[in-house]
Structure formats: structure tokens, C-alpha cells
Structure 1
Amino acid sequence: MPGICGIISKTEKARNLEKVKMMVDCLVHEAFYTSGTYVNNQLGLYAGWACHAGSFSDCMPIFNEKKDLVLIFYGENFSDKEITDQLKGRGHAFDRSNASYLIHMYEEKGDQFLQDLNGWFNGVLIDLRKGKVILFNDLFGMQRIYYYESQDAFYFSSEAKSILKVIPESRQIDIKSLGEFFCCDCALENRTLFKNIFLLPVGSSWTFSNNSEVQRNCYLDAQSWENETLLEKEYFFERLKETFKKILPRYFRSEQKIGISLTGGLDTRIIMAYLEATPEKYPCYTFGGMYRDSFDVKIARRVAAACKQIHQVVSLDKKFLFQFPEYAERTVYLSDGGLDIGEAHELYINKLAREIAPLRITGNYGSEVLRGARFLRASFPREELFHKDFKAHLQNATKTYDSICGGHSLSFTLFKDLPWHEYSRLSIERSQLIPRSPYMDKDLIALMYRATPEVRRSKDVSLRLVEAGNEFLSSIMTDRGIGGKSNYLFRNMAHIFYEFLFKAEYAYNYGMPQWLARVDHVFAPLHLERLFLGRHKFHHFRIWYRDELSDYVRDVLLDERTLSRPYFNRVFIQHMVRSHTEGYRNYTTEITKILTAELIHRLLIET
């Protein structure tokens, strides 16, 4: 994933310059990236960046007219036109299509300018007038900054691997975080998988100046949102409708081509309901599989046609399986170990999506923000997988999770669930294209804090939003049988039917009980998966680990390097691999986690 990196240090000037170039090289993963460096010896700053060519931040570094302010910025900002109009009116010169106006926002407002930004971003601001450097990220931490502090230097980067590259002593697994990785699918409390490498907290603004301590400030004021007065349901809905109408155009402003990633669910439906577009202006696409058109594909095709936009399917095909080792390893490497190999398809399909358009509008995070969905959870993994000495770290992980679960539910989602758990998938998407979601807009978030708990737990507001924006779209049921204009009895029967298919597919794939796996083993030559799979999901790793990917699973997991890791029970891993690849047991989740952990060691620790 592109981003920023750097070193703040008054020692080893030549060596620091060499190191920052190495760090930048670690951020450049594709030929369509651009990159560069900026050095200020007086302040001891050695900074670099990488970004997508032609993107909002492809104009670094940014200077003000007097050249005494410098900004290195990665990400996007979704402000209204009035802000740039005001800056123009005050005589500032900049290009409205990129990030060049941001330095003038700081020039006019000082440190307070961060509170006026709206998007996912991180950056380094150099104020030569005051002799200080400000390192910052966005309110939600969705543009990560990893950091490492030594006795005489501060290292930071959008990717941990660039710090690992220049700090060999950091190439150690943080054992506490590894326990959380197995229980929660991510490290908690702003720790990472790597020893002494941490995450900048959400909404941070850290100031470095000569001969003084680092000022670790936070410009996020979540408490003011949490203390807002709740709105009556109908009044809230009217406010929500007007707010969504207002913010949506912000995400369709770009000189680059924009594509819309459609699903069969509510969140992309809401976007289409309020989109004002001429016919065939925005190419729409849906991710599909190799067995059949999923409900996502069928419904998205109808939605696109209703809005007079072209639709196509981006398919996960046999080529992905043939190249799976490459995509699995790149997924782990690019995400700094944050995304497991069971999500390697995200890299493949987003690479194909970039061929349609370099910007991708998505409904991601709509269910979390509008309907209170939560994906960061703790579950105790199968104990037999682990060495007895490691089990205490699993128990500690569940205790840590329990300790962070208090407080406002929306704040948990925005400031813990999304930046710690959901970020890793976003990092893979960003490696290939630029995703945008209106559901993380600051104005929308502020309003959602004023929804009652009852409203945030219900699908009714989302359904009403679709109907108010485009009545015809509300007549189309979702992929889970929600909505539509049929009578009450038919809608309920349809919902039950769709939910049955969803759960049946899960039971045949990831969630197949061990007794059923033994039965399925007998019928494996008939390839019954072609009957059961593909209606809801387009990735089917239980079958793939058993068949097409079985050689890869055996090669990695039965290798002595894997079996000798001090965390694992080698005897159970050997049993697990043999029984799953021979088809009479289901260890899909366990194989995914152990494969991922092993690749973290090989690609990020030992390389």
C-alpha cells in the first residue's frame, strides 16, 4: 500500500538518508506508483512517500508561496467547494484537483486545520517558521502510521515492513499480539505483530521540535459526539436523508475515472438511489465466482440497469487458484500480516477492478455505521493447535478484548473495530486502486451519534433511505431477502428462504461440521460443491484446500520450519493437514490461520 515514511533524528545524516530511501522502496509495490523524498537537515527530518499516479496526493511535496511551510500528505480529503473558494479569495494559488490547497488551510488556521479535514489520510507538516514537524493521521486511523522509537531516532511509516527493513532488531514477533491475532484476527490496543512497533492512535497530531519532548496530542474529540442530544426517529430520518444527499457528490469528484462496486445489499443500493448520473457515466461491477452468478451479481445487474449504468462481473477464476501461492504471500506481505490468506482473493479481484477504473466507490462500512454491525470479536481457537506454553497468551487475548468493549457502541466501531480489524482489507484494496466510501464521511458520522440505539440496530432506516431516493430500487429485494414491495407473507417467506441458502452455503463451506465432512468425503468425486456453493460467496477455501490447493497446504504446513515453531503442536498440525486434504475433516479456519502465521514469519521476520 502506498503512503508516507520517515525518520526524525539529529544523528547519522548520511545513514538516515540511505535508510529513508530503503523505506520508500518498501512502499512501492506497483509500476503505477510515484514516489519521492524530502530532507531537512536542520530539523533532522528524512521523509518519503509513494502514491498512485494521478491521485489526489500525487503532488508531493507541497509548499506555500513563501516556501516556509511544507506538507507531505497521503490520502484524500472530501471538503466542500466553499473551502477552496475561500482560499482562492484570500489570494492562495493551488490546483483544486489535488492536495495542494491543504498547506494553505494550515497557513490560515494553524494546527486547527486538521479538524476541518474529512477523509482517510496521514501526513507530515514541516513548519520552518516555528522549527517544528507535525506527524498526523485521520480521525479514524484508516490511514495507518506505524512507529518505532530508538534512543536517538523516531521512525514512522504507513507500512511496518519499511521499518522492519531498516531496524533489524524489530524483526521479532510480539507474543501478546500473536495471541490476539489467533483470537481476534488482529492486534489490539495500537500494538502490532512486531516487537516495539506501534500504531499512532486515531486522530493524532504529534509535534517534534528542537530540544523538546514529543508533544503527543490528539485532535479527536469523540466525547463531544457521544454527548450530543439524541434525535426523534422521524426528525433523524429527514436529517439523514438530507445529509446523505449533501455528502454523496463529494465522493464522485475526480479527474480520474470512477467505478462503482455493487453488491446485492443495502449499502451500495443507497448510493445508487441518490446518485445523479447521466446514462453509462460510471461503470459498475460486482465480484463473482466460478460456479454460478451469485445473488450479488444478479441483483447488482438489475440495480445498474435501473440506473442506466453499464454492469460487468469481475470473476474469481481458475487462474487465481493456479497463482494462489503468489497471491497468498503478497496478501500477507502487503498487509503487514494483517490480512489472512483466506482473503487473498481481495488482491486478485481489486487488481482486475483497477483495469475498469482506478477509483472504486464502495458501500463498505455502511452496515457498521448505519446498522451497528460489529466484526471485531474474540473467539478461542482450537486448543489442540498450540503448544501448552502458548495457551496463556490466548487467554490473555480474550481478557484484553473484554477490557476494551465498554463505552459507546459507535465509538467502538469507529475507533477500534475499523482501524484495528477492518483496516487490513482496506490496505490490500489500496495497493491496487483508491477506494472511497461515503459512510465514513465526517458529517454523516456526526449525525449517526444522534441516532437512538433502536434506530442503529434496525434495517428500517436503510430501507427507507433507498425508497426515498429511488422508489423502484426499493422494489428489488436484497441478497438476504430483505425489502421489496411484495406482501408481508411473501417477503417473510423469501427472507427465510434466502437466509436458509446463506446458512446452508456456510455449512457446506467454512462451517461444515466434522461429521458431515466425513459424509461429503464419500461423495467428493461428484463435486457436489457445484450444487451448493456460489449463491452468496465467491470464495470456497474448504474445497480448495482439499483439492486444488492441497499441495501448497502440505508443502508449507508440513515443512520443518512450520512444525518447529514454538507456538504450535506439531502432531496436531500433521493430523489436521492430512485429514483435511484427504477430505474427511474440516479445518479450513485453522489451516488459514496457521498458514498466515507461517508466512508472516517467512516474509516479514526472517527475510
Structure 2
Amino acid sequence: METLGNSGEKKSEMCGIAGYTGAGDESILKNMIQAIKHRGPDIQDTFIQANLGLAHARLSILDLNPGGNQPMFSSDRKIAIVFNGEIYNYISLKKELSNKYEFHNNTDTEVLLYLYKEHGIKMLDKMKGMFAFAIYDFEDQSLFLARDIMGKKPLYYTTTNSCFVFGSELKSILKHPKVTKELNIEAVNQYLTFDYVPTPNSIIKNVSKLEPGHYLVVKNNHVVIKEAYWQHNFTKNDDITFNNASEKLDSLLNNATKKRLMSDVPLGVFLSGGLDSSTIAYYAQKNSSNRIKTFSIGFEDKSYDETNYAKQVAQHLDTEHHTGILTQNKTLELINKIYKNIDEPFADASLIPTYFLSEFTKNHVTVALGGDGSDELLAGYPTFVSNYFTQPLASLPNAIPSALLKMTNGLMKVNDNNISLDFKIKQYLRGFLSKKNHIHQLWLGSFTPDEKKRLFKPEVYASLQDNTGLNIIDSHFSNANKEWSNFDKITYYYYQTYLLDDILVKVDRASMLNSLEVRSPFLDKDVVEFVNTIPQKYKLKGFSGKHLLKKMMENKLPQNITSRSKKGFGIPLSQWIREDLKEEITSILLSEDSYFNQNYIQHILKEHFDKKRNHRKLIWNLYLLKFYMINNNLI
């Protein structure tokens, strides 16, 4: 949430929200909000009346002015809101409303109350920002919930026989005694391939995530409306020249970054030395009268370390740069700390360095800007380039790529370096072990359908409604506009899956566990809507993604920064699984459970330990799943 201080500058707050309609009481509501206290440790406020509970956890970036406390009510007490996020255009919205409504504080939350009073659900068309909120209309006796267009702020919900329950995190919802804590085996199946549970599902049966750009209305404890209020539009502006597109993107990114710099508190930028974070650092320094603070982390293993690039950019931009080193001992220490606090299994190992970066950054600032979203918007992942070669291979019978994969496994020596050549080739071939629409997910994810068939016990596998766990991919492609190109459909798929449930979840959980707010200029609404309309050839040229961004930044950043290939934010997991984590992982994976085939697990462990295969993705994925199940009594 943002507030406007006496100085005329914005003050920001981070929040967690929770609540219910129907059955519940004050102790239940307090337990729900305490479960997400880390999202707002300063104040936890609640409102209770018959059949309604609203709760809010507030972390004030600057002060604790009680006028900004939530739940917040309209002056006539007919509307109440709990809100998590920031509305970047709230000042202009307030001006539009000020002729009709009297405002009593300087928060964007109060603006939303009167925006709803004036426009109802149509208020969503006017909002620009990152948010998840719930508004209760006492006259209509309805609860209205919504989530921002890209899903930057999380929102879970469930309906039981006697209540509707919602919260910023799953752990909050599970504190309500009417919510049954039962493992969702279909979600487990999806997680094993995706490395996360894709929206709208959650790891707990009957608990859902609200999709980005959607709202729902609840009456009598039941969802009566659930609809999209915004959708991606890939209609191309084929008349725009490359130079005009570059100038437009330059202006939009500059404005998006400038809006996110407004703060009365110390603010910094995550700077890995890659193109995306360096771009944001450039615009942040350009719009700041003082040297901005930039933050990067390094690793002892040089194949994973990029601190020299970050230092080069910091020197070029003259930022106040800070570097932390994530040691092996520190990483091993963080594993239990992080994964005991994550509310769903999440196997992207870059969560660990992202957590450490957030922890390190929080020692200096309270708000940080990041470069997330650029790879999805501008085709930055190697998989977009790999898509060029899918047509001939995708038409082959599965037996051929399967044979090629078997051959490379025999011929290519296992290499533990970050995104090594043998890893890329083998992961690429795995993509063709399912149908065309599934290729990108198999490139990105862990278990293939055949591997899951071997992993699950026969009776569990037979019980699955979707034994591949990939039907959700088909639904995303079928939801895509038939007029869109295949490239745009793939971009849309990345928005709805990898960006939403991996990248944004990783950043949200890592930063929130450290009470750090992270803002993402690349995911500004105006930036997203513009980039969706530019021709594919401006994004992808030859074997290079992010062509437009690279050309736009080539005179603003060092040449080797704009031309270097994407590295990723990894840790030497393969080696650690064989060494320091071996005992812990073996103990967890070979513990008895009702779902998995122990012989197959022993097989993949032995191949990895003997360095015959690099099974780090499979082992890490399954380890974190079983760790979660044991920790949450779901085994």
C-alpha cells in the first residue's frame, strides 16, 4: 500500500490480508493473520461482526499513522476493505474523486474505497499497480475480491459448507478450522512436472488461487461470479518501426521505474549484472538525484558467480554497490529455514539465493526494484530460441527423441556446472517426449509423464484424473485467442505459468519472509500492453532474444552486458546432493509414504550419486515435496 506524506512523496507499506464470511470468530481470525505476520509485522488488525471477519497485517515503511490501519471503512461505514499492494496512479484517481468524496487520510487504500463506491467492479479498469484485495459491501452483503493483471500479489480462497475463506498465503487459510487439510494428489502430479503447483490449483484439496486479472464476488458464502476483468491482447502494430518501438519502450520503462522510486525510505535495486537488472538500475539512477544503492550476491563456485558483471555495471552507473557472498555453509543453513516457511512445495532452487539476496538487501534498504518479467515479455529465455527447432522434431515418434536422449546419456559426461552444455542438450531432448504444446514445460520442468508413471505407486497412478499432469497446458493454449501466432500463444503460456507461479512466487515469498518490498517495472501495465503489440521480429532475431531491449540499452550500458547470454540464478545443487545434502535427502526420499515407488527413487538416487546421470531436478523436486508433506503431516 502507498501513502502520500506531508512532503508530497509516497510512503509504501507491505501487507498480508485474510478473512472469511460465514462461520468463524475472533480467535480464528487472529490465528489466520498471525500465520502471515511476516508480511506485516508492525500491526495486525481485525474486524469481526456476525458472519464476517476481515484481517490485515501491516508493515509500515516509514511511520505507523493509524489513519492507514486496516480494515478500513468508508465514512458512512457501508464499505470495508483489506488491501495488499500499491496503486501507482492513486493520486490521479483521488483527484477525479475529490469533487464528490471527502478523504480523511493520504492512503491509496481509502481511494479504493471511494473508487468502488463510484464505479463498483468497474473500478478495476482504472487501477494500475500490484494488488490483491477484498471489499465487503454491507448494503449488498457481498464480498468482492480481485488480483492484479500479472498476479504479482498472491490470493488464495476456498469454500466450505459453512464459510468462504481467503488469505494472502495458504498457511493463513489452513488456520480456519472449517478448512480440511487434505493433500491434492492432482496438484502433486502437476508439481512433479512444473516444480510448482500451477494456478488455479493449490497443494491442498479444494483451496484455489485466484487467477491474475480476475475478480470474484461472494454471497452467502458461495462464489456467485468469477470473471476476468482484463486479458492480454497480442494484436500487432505492424506499422511501428524498430526505432519508434525502441523510443516508446525507453519512455515507458523510464516512467515505470520512476513511479516505483517514490518512497520516503531507503530504496535500492537488485543488480545481478544481467541485462534486465542492469536496465532497471540504469533507469533508477537516471531518475535519482543521489547515488542509488545496488545489491548483488556471489558464489564460491565461479561457474555460478556473476559479481564481476554487477560491479562493472555499478561502476558504469556510479551506484553505491553492495555485494554479499552466499557460501555453501550459509546455503545449507538456509534450506530448513526457508522451506519450513513456504506454504506450498516449490522446487526452483534459485529461491535460496533470492532469499539470501533479500535478506542481505534488507540490511540496507526496505524497498528494492528488480528486473523480473523481461524474459517473458521479450523472449529472453533460451527456450524461445529453441522453439525454432521444434517443428521437425515434434513430428517424430517419441521413440526417436527417446533414443537420442538415451544415446546422449551414454556418450556425454555429466557436468555439474551451471546450465552446462550436456544439461541443455538432455533437457532439450526431454521436451519431445510428449506432445507439441507440452514441449516448453518439459524443457523447464522436472518429471516427464513416463517418469511419473514409474514414480507413483500403481494404485495412486490409476487414481489420477490427468495422469500426465499436463492437461492444464492444453487449457491455456485453448484459452489463447485463435488469431494469435504460435509465438504469442507461447508467450501467453509463460505469463500464465512460469512467470506467475515460479518467478513471482519466488520473489514474493523470498522478499516477504524478510519484510522487504520488491517492485517490478517491467511488469508495469503500460509496458506489458505495449510490448504485447510489437512484432515478433523485434523481440527475437536469429538466435538471440530480447533484441529490442539489447539495442535500446547498447549505448546506455557496457557492451558486454547487453550482448552476454542469459545465465540464470543457480546454485551448485548437483554436487551438494552428492555430498553435503546426501544424508538428509536420502533419509527424506526413502522414508515410507503412501504415494511413491521406493525402488524407482533408489534408482535415480544411485544414478546421480554414481555420476551416471544428473538427476538434480528430479531429486530436488521430490525431496522438497516430501519435506513439505512430512512438515505438514500430509504423508
Which residue of the other structure, out of 565, 574, 583, is the alignment partner of 1:542?
574
1:466 and 2:553 are equivalent in the alignment: yes
Deviations 1:408-443 (A, max 9, x none): 434333334322343331232232211110111111
The farther-off stretch of 586-595 and 57-66 is 57-66
1:368 and 2:359 are equivalent in the alignment: no
The equivalent of 1:313 in structure 2 is: 323
1:477 and 2:549 are equivalent in the alignment: no
Residues in 1 aligned to 2:313 and 2:295: alpha-carbon distance in whole angstroms = 11
The equivalent of 2:58 in structure 1 is: 51
Residues in 2 aligned to 1:205 and 1:55: alpha-carbon distance in whole angstroms = 31
Q: Secondary structure at the match of 1:165?
A: coil
Deviations 1:370-406 (A, max 9, x none): 2364797135444554434455657431344244335
The equivalent of 1:431 in structure 2 is: 513
Q: Secondary structure at the match of 2:30?
A: helix
| Contact kept? 1:321, 1:548, Cα under 8 Å | no
Deviations 1:260-314 (A, max 9, x none): 0012222122223333245653210112112349663112212122222111112
Residues in 2 aligned to 1:40 and 1:231: alpha-carbon distance in whole angstroms = 57
1:387 and 2:457 are equivalent in the alignment: yes
Query: Aligned AA for 2:19?
Result: G
Query: Aligned AA for 1:434?
Result: E
With over 3 angstroms needed to count, the CA separation of the structure-2 counterparts of 1:165 and 1:603, relative to structure 1, is: farther
Aligned-pair distance for 1:81?
4.2
The farther-off stretch of 356-365 and 314-323 is 314-323
With over 3 angstroms needed to count, the CA separation of the structure-2 counterparts of 1:320 and 1:387, relative to structure 1, is: same
Query: Aligned AA for 2:501?
Result: W
Residues in 2 aligned to 1:454 and 1:540: alpha-carbon distance in whole angstroms = 35
Deviations 1:15-57 (A, max 9, x none): 433222221121123784532212232xx22121223332799
The equivalent of 1:287 in structure 2 is: 297
The farther-off stretch of 435-444 and 18-27 is 18-27
The equivalent of 1:274 in structure 2 is: 283
The equivalent of 1:245 in structure 2 is: 254
The equivalent of 2:84 in structure 1 is: 74
Which residue of the other structure, out of 377, 380, 386, is the alignment partner of 2:441?
377
The equivalent of 2:118 in structure 1 is: 108
Equivalence map 1:521-560=2 (5 Å): 539-558=571-590
| Contact kept? 2:20, 2:53, Cα under 8 Å | yes
The equivalent of 2:602 in structure 1 is: 574
Residues in 1 aligned to 2:570 and 2:209: alpha-carbon distance in whole angstroms = 33
Query: Aligned AA for 1:571?
Result: N
Number of equivalences: 538
| Identity of matched residues, % | 19
The farther-off stretch of 160-169 and 360-369 is 160-169
Deviations 1:513-536 (A, max 9, x none): xxxxxxxxxxxxxxxxxxxxxxx7
With over 3 angstroms needed to count, the CA separation of the structure-2 counterparts of 1:80 and 1:212, relative to structure 1, is: closer
Aligned-pair distance for 1:179?
1.0
The equivalent of 1:8 in structure 2 is: 21
Query: Aligned AA for 1:415?
Result: Q
Residues in 1 aligned to 2:598 and 2:160: alpha-carbon distance in whole angstroms = 37
Q: Secondary structure at the match of 1:156?
A: strand
Equivalence map 1:135-534=2 (5 Å): 135-167=145-177, 170-188=180-198, 190-209=200-219, 214-222=223-231, 225-227=233-235, 229-234=237-242, 235-275=244-284, 276-278=286-288, 280-292=290-302, 296-330=306-340, 333-339=341-347, 343-371=351-379, 373=381, 377-378=441-442, 380-381=447-448, 382=451, 384-391=454-461, 393=464, 395-406=467-478, 407=480, 408-409=488-489, 410-429=491-510, 430-432=512-514, 433-457=516-540, 458-467=545-554, 471-473=555-557, 475-478=558-561, 482-483=562-563
TM-score by length of 2: 0.76
Residues in 2 aligned to 1:565 and 1:2: alpha-carbon distance in whole angstroms = 37
Residues in 1 aligned to 2:97 and 2:471: alpha-carbon distance in whole angstroms = 50
The equivalent of 1:597 in structure 2 is: 625
1:62 and 2:72 are equivalent in the alignment: yes
| Contact kept? 1:346, 1:428, Cα under 8 Å | no
Aligned-pair distance for 1:603?
2.2
What stretches of structure 1 of length at least 5 have no aligned partner? 484-494, 503-535
Deviations 1:242-271 (A, max 9, x none): 222222211111122211001222212222
Aligned-pair distance for 1:6?
1.1
With over 3 angstroms needed to count, the CA separation of the structure-2 counterparts of 1:236 and 1:342, relative to structure 1, is: closer
What stretches of structure 2 of length at least 5 have no aligned partner? 1-13, 385-439, 481-487
The equivalent of 2:616 in structure 1 is: 588
With over 3 angstroms needed to count, the CA separation of the structure-2 counterparts of 1:90 and 1:423, relative to structure 1, is: same
Q: Secondary structure at the match of 1:256?
A: coil
Deviations 1:116-173 (A, max 9, x none): 2222211111233444321222122332221211122111111112222334763222
Residues in 1 aligned to 2:41 and 2:377: alpha-carbon distance in whole angstroms = 33
The equivalent of 2:398 in structure 1 is: none
With over 3 angstroms needed to count, the CA separation of the structure-2 counterparts of 1:537 and 1:424, relative to structure 1, is: closer
Deviations 1:66-110 (A, max 9, x none): 333322101112227433444456563354465343323323333
The equivalent of 1:532 in structure 2 is: none
Query: Aligned AA for 1:602?
Result: I
Query: Aligned AA for 1:417?
Result: Y
The equivalent of 2:422 in structure 1 is: none
Residues in 2 aligned to 1:222 and 1:298: alpha-carbon distance in whole angstroms = 40
* RMSD of equivalent CA atoms: 3.2
With over 3 angstroms needed to count, the CA separation of the structure-2 counterparts of 1:89 and 1:5, relative to structure 1, is: same
Residues in 1 aligned to 2:222 and 2:613: alpha-carbon distance in whole angstroms = 57
The equivalent of 1:28 in structure 2 is: 37
